[in-house]
Structure 1
Amino acid sequence: MSRIAGPKGLRTAAAIRRAGLKLIYRHGFGAMSLRDLASEVGIQASSLYNHIRTKQDLLFDLIREHMEALLAQTDAALAAAPDTATDRLRTFIRHHIVYHLEKKQDVFIANFELRSLDAPHYATIVAMRRAYEGKLMAVLDAGVATGEFDIHDTRITAYSILAMLTGVCTWYKPEGRLSKSEIVDLHTNMVLHGCIAQREHALP
């Protein structure tokens, strides 16, 4: 995003990103003006162009950075997980929920402002989303192959799981009666009960 080198330029670019997240989350991309953004950062509107090319590029950069972080951190979490598909699914669920709760503004913008991207930017982000969905599908496919999971359509199952897990962001409140860990455990049990092949014994 930044076009000015040096510590000051990097600090200003980071401040623009934080302000952009806050204003888009609060007012929506269409309602946020570059003048509002500059005022939030404490610089002249004309100075924004030293750091961003257009308002559209700012939105794209925000969503792209979110997706890059999500993909990279998911890869790291799965790489450290045990080999069984069940354990990898547990890991995916925990990472997805915790990441999304900690990045609530990023997630909201990535989901609800995707429609505001122009066609080339939209295509790039959709491809990244498909790559993320593919990671969960691969876990489910592996579980079906080993007999751990009884799933008739892993693609639709993956979409359903992701919708449920991401939906936590819309209602979870830190001051609520359930902790993050309890939310993770609750959703893990729901997903696993829907995926694991029936055995003589219940889930551990």
Structure 2
Amino acid sequence: MARKTGSHSEITGPRVRDAALRLFARHGFAAVSMRQIASEVGVQAGALYLYTKDKQSLLFDLMKSHMEELLEAWVAEPKGGSATERLEAFTRFHIRFHLDRPDAVFIAYMELRNLEPDNFAKIEQLRRRYEDGLEDILRAGAEAGAFTVPDTKLATWAVIAMLTGVNTWYREGGRLSPDRIEAIYWDMVRRSVGA
């Protein structure tokens, strides 16, 4: 079949990813067909295979891109020197980064179960790198006597779960501004580690 007039890979490829992201977040990976994605983009279903191998590859690519962007942004984030300053930087960064990406966050956490084993292992490795950064902060704070954390791994998971939970209720234009949310959550995180 000939390429649709006006279809260009640098335009259509991102549109395929955006449509898949929205549909997976709204309906769940298992409920979305390649035909639905194609319809959303305005191309024939067969044309999608010019941009992705299959639906699994598309899901993996969305998750991998999200995690790589997250890690890259965290590396570039100013962090401060003390463990407390670094924990505050992490808290504020995590909220700020994720508030703008609710669909990507939903997919990154809720669709892990739909990844094939090899893809799951790759995403899990990226997630572990991010979690390890927070655990290093918590461990340094505990060793310096700034935090009271009986188990740094468990505290890492708890803090990330609490921070990521913002995406379940936050709506732009709601009663709390992103800055106010960051401040409140920083206070809760600080107290949760005994700082």
Shift of 1:129: 1.0
- Residues 79, 90 of structure 2: 8 Å contact kept: no
Question: Once the two structures are superposed, what CA deviation does each residue of 1:118-158 show, in whole Å capped at 9, x if it has no partner?
Answer: 11101111111111110100011111222221222111111
Shift of 1:8: 2.3
Amino acid at match of 1:44: Q
Aligned to 1:64: 64
Aligned to 1:178: 176
Aligned to 1:90: 88
SS at match of 1:88: helix
Superposition map of 1:1-204 within 5 A? 8-77=8-77, 80-197=78-195
SS at match of 2:22: helix
How much is the aligned-residue C-alpha RMSD, in angstroms?
1.3
Q: Displaced runs of 4+ in structure 1, greater than 3 A?
A: none
Q: What CA distance in whole angstroms lies between the structure 2 residues aligned with 1:27 and 1:152?
A: 39
- Residues 90, 134 of structure 2: 8 Å contact kept: yes
Aligned to 2:4: none
Question: Once the two structures are superposed, what CA deviation does each residue of 1:63-95 show, in whole Å capped at 9, x if it has no partner?
Answer: 000000111111111xx2211111110000001
Deviates more, 1:161-170 or 1:141-150: 141-150
Amino acid at match of 1:117: L
Shift of 1:194: 2.4
Q: What CA distance in whole angstroms lies between the structure 1 residues aligned with 2:131 and 2:79?
A: 18
Q: What CA distance in whole angstroms lies between the structure 2 residues aligned with 1:160 and 1:81?
A: 21
Amino acid at match of 2:33: S
SS at match of 1:53: coil
Amino acid at match of 1:145: E
Structure 1: gaps (5+ residues): 1-6, 198-204
- Residues 16, 41 of structure 2: 8 Å contact kept: yes
Shift of 1:110: 0.8
Shift of 1:191: 1.0
Q: What CA distance in whole angstroms lies between the structure 2 residues aligned with 1:26 and 1:161?
A: 26
Amino acid at match of 1:100: H
Shift of 1:45: 1.0
Amino acid at match of 1:73: A
Structure 2: gaps (5+ residues): 1-6
Amino acid at match of 1:104: P
SS at match of 1:63: helix
